[in-house]
Amino acid sequence: MSDMKLNRQQEPLLSVRNLCQYFGTTKAVDDVSFDVMQGEVFGLVGESGCGKTTTGRSIIKLYNITSGDIYYKGARIAFGSMARKKEISSLRKRFFGADADEKVRIKKRIAQLKREIRQGKHDHENCDKLFAERKLAEVEEKYQPLLESAYGAELEKIKRDYQHDKDLAKKTRLTTQIQMIFQDPIASLDPRMTVYEIISEGLVIAGEKNKAIIDEKVYKILETVGLVREHASRYPHEFSGGQRQRIGVARAVIMEPELIIADEPVSALDVSIQAQVINLLNRLRKQLGLTVLFIAHDLSVVKYFSDRIGVMYYGHLVELATSDELFRHPLHPYTQSLLSAIPFPDPLYERQRKRIKYDPLEKHDYSVDKPRLREVLPGHFVRCNQQEFECYQKELNAK
């Protein structure tokens, strides 16, 4: 569906690096890294419980992440110290047996890691403040030349707009730039609030006080998502599942975010309604130039929609490639298993289609040689050990 060409030189909009999110002994997300480029749709796929939602919630800072770094437009928005702390403690163990030269190196590295941890914590806590500063600078840049060149009544109007935008910029939060659409449109909409209240809530929290501006935005967004003005005064229970998810989309899009995390936005809907909501998202994406992190539990939904796809299995990212590449050359046995589960509207194919089961113990021997995400072809990553890596390369070269 998307015609976007990936420019590998471009700076990513979102960069997730070695993300770990543990809940006690549950490693919900374990060392996951990927980039989302400006304007692309990145599909994140894997069976229920593999850590997709946790990844999304980590990005919007609903957790203090266990470990790793998340960058948005080059600014670090989330940080967790576990990996660096582990490195420090293993360096300390090595210290006593080390010779003088090595001791110097170890000390230097530990000091470096401690600096990184301090900086990381600082970034994690202050990212909203830094966003607000950036936004404020953008407002200044926009209005300074206007303020200098205008006079009379026009100047007065510009001054008012300038003040309005400045007030909003001061309250800029990460959550105005990254919005999440949730899986369950029933549970995620407060039943006691009207559609108007639900959709306008984010604007109000962001500091918008002008009722006329809020009205205009709410009515416009209702139309944009295929609802009508009259729906504003109603309550969520008066709507069908598909309509409720349109309300969820409106609530996210009204904030004019750059990145939308759509967490299984159609999984709870009837199949007949799913396509409508997918089409809506795709239209909005093009109209508004959105970047989308699209989460789904099977490949059939993301196939046509995504520029690139990341496949997750039990907290790990096991394969990452462009959609075309992933469907043409699926390498990881779990990806192959997911692909084998997609029905095609071709009776001949359907008769031959065999579901491949994925059993990690049978497929890999990681007892000695441990796996990590490796780039098998430019842009095509697979979680594998050295031996598998060589097999995958041979496999691809034979094609």
Site for Mg ion, rule CB under 5 A: 53
Partner from Mg ion, ligand ADP, none contacting 50, C-beta within 5 to 8 A by type: ligand ADP
Distances from the Cα of 272 to the Cαs of 116, 150, 276, in angstroms?
50, 55, 8
Q: Tell me whether residue 198 or residue 296 sits nearer to Mg ion (CB atom).
A: 296
Minimum Å distance from CB 255 to ligand ADP?
23
Positions 105 through 124 that interact with ligand ADP (CB under 6 A) = none
- Integer-rounded Cα Rg, in Å, for the chain is 24
Residue 23 as a binder of ligand ADP (CB under 6 A): the answer is: yes
Minimum Å distance from CB 80 to ligand ADP?
15
Q: Tell me whether residue 53 or residue 243 sits nearer to Mg ion (CB atom).
A: 53
Minimum Å distance from CB 44 to ligand ADP?
9
Residue 25 as a binder of ligand ADP (CB under 6 A): the answer is: no
Which single residue brings its beta carbon nearest to Mg ion?
Answer: 53
Minimum Å distance from CB 351 to ligand ADP?
32
Residue 26 as a binder of ligand ADP (CB under 6 A): the answer is: yes
Q: Tell me whether residue 53 or residue 81 sits nearer to Mg ion (CB atom).
A: 53
Q: Tell me whether residue 54 or residue 245 sits nearer to ligand ADP (CB atom).
A: 54
Q: At a CB cut-off of 8 Å and minimum separation 6, what does 232 contact? A: 194, 195, 196, 199, 218, 219, 222
Interface segment toward ligand ADP; rule CB under 6 A; list 20-28, 155-163, 254-262, 303-311: 20-28
Minimum Å distance from CB 29 to ligand ADP?
7
Q: Tell me whether residue 200 or residue 335 sits nearer to ligand ADP (CB atom).
A: 335
Q: Alpha-carbon distance 158 to 62, whole Å?
A: 38
Q: Tell me whether residue 53 or residue 175 sits nearer to Mg ion (CB atom).
A: 53
Partner from Mg ion, ligand ADP, none contacting 16, C-beta within 5 to 8 A by type: none
By rule CB under 6 A, what count of residues binds ligand ADP?
11
Partner from Mg ion, ligand ADP, none contacting 169, C-beta within 5 to 8 A by type: none
Q: Tell me whether residue 52 or residue 135 sits nearer to ligand ADP (CB atom).
A: 52
Among 52, 33, 44, residue whose Cα is nearest residue 294: 44
Q: Alpha-carbon distance 146 to 158, whole Å?
A: 7
Helix 195-205 and helix 211-224: axis angle, to 10°?
120
In the set 16, 20, 28, 189, which binds ligand ADP (CB under 6 A)? 28
Minimum Å distance from CB 48 to ligand ADP?
4
Q: Tell me whether residue 45 or residue 178 sits nearer to Mg ion (CB atom).
A: 45
Q: At a CB cut-off of 8 Å and minimum separation 6, what does 24 contact? A: none
Pairing type for strands 308-313 and 41-45 reads parallel
Positions 42 through 61 that interact with ligand ADP (CB under 6 A) = 46, 48-54
Minimum Å distance from CB 193 to Mg ion?
24
Minimum Å distance from CB 45 to ligand ADP?
9
Partner from Mg ion, ligand ADP, none contacting 23, C-beta within 5 to 8 A by type: ligand ADP
Interface segment toward ligand ADP; rule CB under 6 A; list 22-30, 102-110, 166-174, 213-221: 22-30
Q: Tell me whether residue 50 or residue 317 sits nearer to ligand ADP (CB atom).
A: 50
Minimum Å distance from CB 45 to Mg ion?
11
| Residues at the contact surface with ligand ADP, assessed by CB under 6 A | 23, 26, 28, 46, 48-54
